[in-house]
Amino acid sequence: MRTEQPKVIYLKDYQAPEYLIDETNLTFELYEDHSLVHAQLVIRRNPERAAGDSGAGLPPLVLDGQQLELLSLAMDDRVLGEGDYQLDDSHLTLQPVSSQFTLDSTVRIHPESNTALEGLYKSGTMFCTQCEAEGFRKITYYLDRPDVMSTFTTTITAEQHRYPVLLSNGNPMASGAEEGGRHWATWQDPFKKPAYLFALVAGDLWCVEDTFTTMNQREVALRIYVEPENIDKVQHAMDSLKKSMRWDEEVYGREYDLDIFMIVAVNDFNMGAMENKGLNIFNSSCVLAKAETATDAAHQRVEAVVAHEYFHNWSGNRVTCRDWFQLSLKEGFTVFRDAEFSADMNSRTVKRIEDVAFLRTNQFAEDAGPMAHPVRPDSFMEISNFYTLTVYEKGAEVVRMIHTLLGAEGFRKGTDLYFERHDGQAVTCDDFVKAMEDANGVELTQFKRWYSQSGTPRLQVEESYDAQAKTYSLTFRQSCPATPGQKEKAPFVIPLALGLLDGKGNELPLRLQGEGAAQGVGRVLALTEAEQCFTFVDIPERPLPSLLRGFSAPVKLSFPYSRDQLMFLMQHDSDGFNRWEAGQQLSVQVLQELIAQHQKGEPLVLDSRLVKAFDTLLGDESLDQAMVAEMLSLPSEAYLTEISEVADVEAIHAAREFARVTIGEALYQPLLARYRANRALSRETGYIAEAAHIARRTLQNIALSYLMQSGKAEALEACLEQFNDCDNMTERLSALAVLVNSAFEQAKADALQRFAEYFKDDPLVMDQWFSVQAGCGLPGGLERVQELMKHPAFTLKNPNKVRALIGAFANQNLVNFHRADGAGYRFLADHVIALNALNPQIASRQLTPLTRWRKYDTSRQQLMKAELERILASGELSSDVYEIVSKSLA
């Protein structure tokens, strides 16, 4: 907590550390009312910084440390007294007398009252840690920066009975009993690592064990630790882990390096999971999954997060970041890796659709708001605020573009060189790009603007066809709106994947003017100029272009497609992603027309072409059901908000709901037929967590949600049958969600009550129960959420609960959150203020919807800003909350 303004830290001020730590020996004594941490650090002067040392003497050693009670300090066995060092609330400064020495310290800390969930803390009865980015300084005095890499030996002592399992990074070395019912264990991690990858766990945990044989025939022990009641929900994560290990060998040639790999599930966790060396710590929501309690989406999330954290062992741990401005070096790359893994394990096109929809809705909004920042930021106040969609998701798009430009083989050459060249080092985004350049003999200087320039580029496309000359030209104009601190932008390198379709929907061979022969159908153009024209020759008829296939660059593309052309692309484009995209664009056009009608007070009339397109999709049995489900899903209210100049909350909601009702009624029969066929198969096979079955259930549940729009008793009956008689959470939760959003009050109340009664002891299922209600767009949403906050299963201290109720309300229930009197904003601000004192990271994350105030009408803008002002004036703000609020008001 702070009263004065937090300091801004700049990338341009980076300097290598004055001292290095070669060895870190830690001993933890864990007790119920405090813990003791003994640290023995083998420190030496950084030779890189030692050039002019002799005359001037050694510089002071400045260690990071927060909320630590220093009990003793010794340098090379000389006990230091108060005159020998300076302490402030975040540093310990002392004067070394030789360039190599050992520092011994003992501090007292209080994990039992650590509600920020950073450093060492308790989740339920277990001790655990979260050190990224700057949490290790809450454990002991240290050089808490990623370019200081050390080996770690960790001994933990604790009461045997309460904490039978004692874990840390690396390999188990020794353990034993102590008097007084206590025991100890020592772990050693031979790989040098920064402190942010340190981890410790102590608790009463059970584990599922397995083994993995690596490509070089080494056997690795795999263990997933959970609280005993969750032991039946671990198999899916274990399967995902083994698949990830194999995939990283096959696709990147990366082998696991320790003899043991462990995952621990904890209930109270700020983020999804953490890649600590050999000891990943996970939010239980990203590990635990079984058919009865977790949806298909939850199963897929577990698979993706397990892979993500595992992949960090190379992209993050073996090669780490020099400083936190380089965060995307590991996160963008690792998100790209996990996305490709999920694409290989499931449907590639569907994975891409989901990721692009997410990026365009959420990252584009970030890029358009007050927190817009480059993939490699230039400055920050609080690094925790930069674990953003830009660093992660846009960072992954940047890596994907390199992959697109170099091709799979060239990209692999680049990663091979990167891992070989930098193994054991802390490096920068420039080093990553350099490895790509050197391995491929290419230059990516202009491309690197993607790392330094913020904002979402716009790409306008114009066409012209010359029937006489049989040439077809596309003119591309790129621009990028101003973002905080960046008025002007230079042109980006935009890989533009495209194809041209003839009147029958066939791909035309592509030959650019000046090329000798056609280079096949479909290709990638590299746009580099603000304006650029490409002319294709031998084009016998006016073609229809399919542009930005697979979303080959994170830009806002505009091309004046007619609705008929979009319907044509929906059916004929050979690129699955662009078939979906054509459908989205058609839906957007139709919905925007409804929004305009609503604003003018005219009756709403849905363009029947959308209904016809959906009818065709439903009628085509040959289509992939997952694709049909994606294509039948209308763009979300959040996406419609993002693409609006000024978002009209009520009109967007009314238009989308009207479209859903109209479609549900017009296509009632084909939807019912699909629903019944798929539901019958679900009953027949029981739950199977495989792609084809997931696709079938997704389509079944979309159909059900449209059918319920009709309000027919027959639909309700189907919904209740599914809710009552299914064997899995995917079907049960979908049925519950459509009931909650319906007008069948009695059935809804019964279902909610029975669900909560049955699952009351399963916190992750209760999170879903909260979320479904928090997201319900029917009138009275705020009052329902306020009532739910009083439910015994709710607590502000658990981040998953905060996200499930407050987060779902503010992010997924736009019509209620943005109600015109500002009560939704007041509610959110009240809880941000309460959370600021408990858990600054969670408080700051919950603020996001208020940072988007520029999107709304002036009355809402005033109300949102007033709440931001109120937060700013509410007392001592954490640096996390202060940074977001002050930047939002700037």
Residues near ligand ARG (CB under 6 A) are 132-133, 271, 273-275, 308-309, 331, 384, 387
Residue number with CB closer to ligand ARG (331 or 883) = 331
Cβ 386 to ligand ARG, closest distance in Å?
A: 8
Find where tokens 């209210």 sit.
Answer: 637
- Residue by residue, DSSP assigns 478-520 as EE---BTTB---PPPPEEEEEEEE-TTSPBPP--BTT-SS---
Rounded CA-CA distance 675/698 in Å is: 10
Rounded CA-CA distance 412/410 in Å is: 5
Cβ 576 to ligand ARG, closest distance in Å?
A: 29
Using CB distances below 5 to 8 A depending on partner kind, what does residue 697 bind out of ligand ARG, Zn ion, none?
Answer: none
Cβ 863 to ligand ARG, closest distance in Å?
A: 29
DSSP-assigned beta bridge partners for residue 91:
64
- Residue by residue, DSSP assigns 292-311 as TTS-HHHHHHHHHHHHHHHH
| CB 262 within 8 Å of CB 165 | no
Identified catalytic residue from 134, 275, 309, 366: 309
Using CB distances below 5 to 8 A depending on partner kind, what does residue 831 bind out of Zn ion, ligand ARG, none?
Answer: none
- Residue by residue, DSSP assigns 802-824 as HIIIIIHHHHH-HHHHT-TTSHH
Residue number with CB closer to Zn ion (331 or 340) = 331
Residue number with CB closer to ligand ARG (247 or 311) = 311
Sequence-separated (6 or more) residues with CB below 8 Å from residue 230: 265, 284, 288
Find where tokens 């462990």 sit.
Answer: 262
Cβ 628 to ligand ARG, closest distance in Å?
A: 33
Rounded CA-CA distance 278/299 in Å is: 23
Rounded CA-CA distance 511/539 in Å is: 9
Using CB distances below 5 to 8 A depending on partner kind, what does residue 376 bind out of Zn ion, ligand ARG, none?
Answer: none
CA dihedral 750→754→756→761, nearest 10 degrees, is 170
Rounded CA-CA distance 546/706 in Å is: 30
Is 6 exposed, middle or buried, given 0-12, 13-18 or 19+ CB atoms closer than 10 A?
middle
Q: Is 105 helix (H, G, I), strand (E, B) or coil?
A: strand
Using CB distances below 5 to 8 A depending on partner kind, what does residue 508 bind out of ligand ARG, Zn ion, none?
Answer: none
Using CB distances below 5 to 8 A depending on partner kind, what does residue 366 bind out of ligand ARG, Zn ion, none?
Answer: none
Residue number with CB closer to ligand ARG (278 or 550) = 278
In 214-365, which ranges are E strands? 219-226, 260-266, 273-274, 279-283, 320-321
Cβ 284 to Zn ion, closest distance in Å?
A: 18
Residue 498 vs residues 78, 142, 507, 690, 729: alpha-carbon distances, Å = 70, 52, 10, 32, 40
Using CB distances below 5 to 8 A depending on partner kind, what does residue 132 bind out of ligand ARG, Zn ion, none?
Answer: ligand ARG
Residue number with CB closer to Zn ion (197 or 850) = 197
Sequence-separated (6 or more) residues with CB below 8 Å from residue 345: 243, 247, 303
Cβ 210 to Zn ion, closest distance in Å?
A: 23
First to last CA, the chain: 22
Q: Is 275 a catalytic residue?
A: no
Residue number with CB closer to Zn ion (337 or 653) = 337
Residue number with CB closer to ligand ARG (186 or 844) = 844
Using CB distances below 5 to 8 A depending on partner kind, what does residue 133 bind out of Zn ion, ligand ARG, none?
Answer: ligand ARG
Cβ 133 to Zn ion, closest distance in Å?
A: 12
Residue number with CB closer to ligand ARG (314 or 723) = 314
Using CB distances below 5 to 8 A depending on partner kind, what does residue 397 bind out of Zn ion, ligand ARG, none?
Answer: none
Cβ 312 to ligand ARG, closest distance in Å?
A: 6
Q: Is 586 helix (H, G, I), strand (E, B) or coil?
A: helix
Rounded CA-CA distance 735/780 in Å is: 21
Cβ 50 to ligand ARG, closest distance in Å?
A: 32
Cβ 305 to ligand ARG, closest distance in Å?
A: 8
Cβ 841 to ligand ARG, closest distance in Å?
A: 6
| CB 60 within 8 Å of CB 52 | no
The Cβ of residue 400 has, within 10 Å, a number of other Cβ atoms equal to 24
Cβ 107 to ligand ARG, closest distance in Å?
A: 21
Is 549 exposed, middle or buried, given 0-12, 13-18 or 19+ CB atoms closer than 10 A?
buried
Residue 545 tokens read as: 């272009």
303-338 exposure pattern, b = at least 16 Cβ within 10 A, e = fewer? bbbbbbbbbbbbbbbbbbbbbbbbbbbbbbbbbbbb
Using CB distances below 5 to 8 A depending on partner kind, what does residue 384 bind out of Zn ion, ligand ARG, none?
Answer: ligand ARG
Q: Is 391 helix (H, G, I), strand (E, B) or coil?
A: helix
Residue number with CB closer to ligand ARG (380 or 580) = 380
| CB 88 within 8 Å of CB 165 | no
Residue nearest to ligand ARG (CB): 387
Binding mask of the shown chain, residues 292 to 331, with x at each position contacting Zn ion by CB under 5 A: ---------------------------------------x
Using CB distances below 5 to 8 A depending on partner kind, what does residue 271 bind out of Zn ion, ligand ARG, none?
Answer: ligand ARG
Using CB distances below 5 to 8 A depending on partner kind, what does residue 419 bind out of ligand ARG, Zn ion, none?
Answer: none
Any idea what the Cα angle at residue 701 is, between residues 695 and 702, rounded to 5°? 90
| CB 396 within 8 Å of CB 332 | yes
| CB 763 within 8 Å of CB 780 | no
Using CB distances below 5 to 8 A depending on partner kind, what does residue 808 bind out of Zn ion, ligand ARG, none?
Answer: none
Residue type, 729: M
Using CB distances below 5 to 8 A depending on partner kind, what does residue 387 bind out of ligand ARG, Zn ion, none?
Answer: ligand ARG
Find where tokens 């009818």 sit.
Answer: 615
Residue number with CB closer to Zn ion (393 or 642) = 393
Residue number with CB closer to Zn ion (334 or 888) = 334
Binding mask of the shown chain, residues 330 to 369, with x at each position contacting Zn ion by CB under 5 A: -x--x-----------------------------------
Pick from 868, 769, 782: nearest CA to 817: 782
Residue number with CB closer to ligand ARG (272 or 484) = 272
Rounded CA-CA distance 313/320 in Å is: 9
783-799 exposure pattern, b = at least 16 Cβ within 10 A, e = fewer? ebbeebeebebbebebb
Residue number with CB closer to Zn ion (418 or 882) = 418
Residue 677 tokens read as: 């066929």
Cβ 136 to ligand ARG, closest distance in Å?
A: 12
> Which positions touch Zn ion (CB under 5 A)?
331, 334
Which residues are identified as catalytic?
309
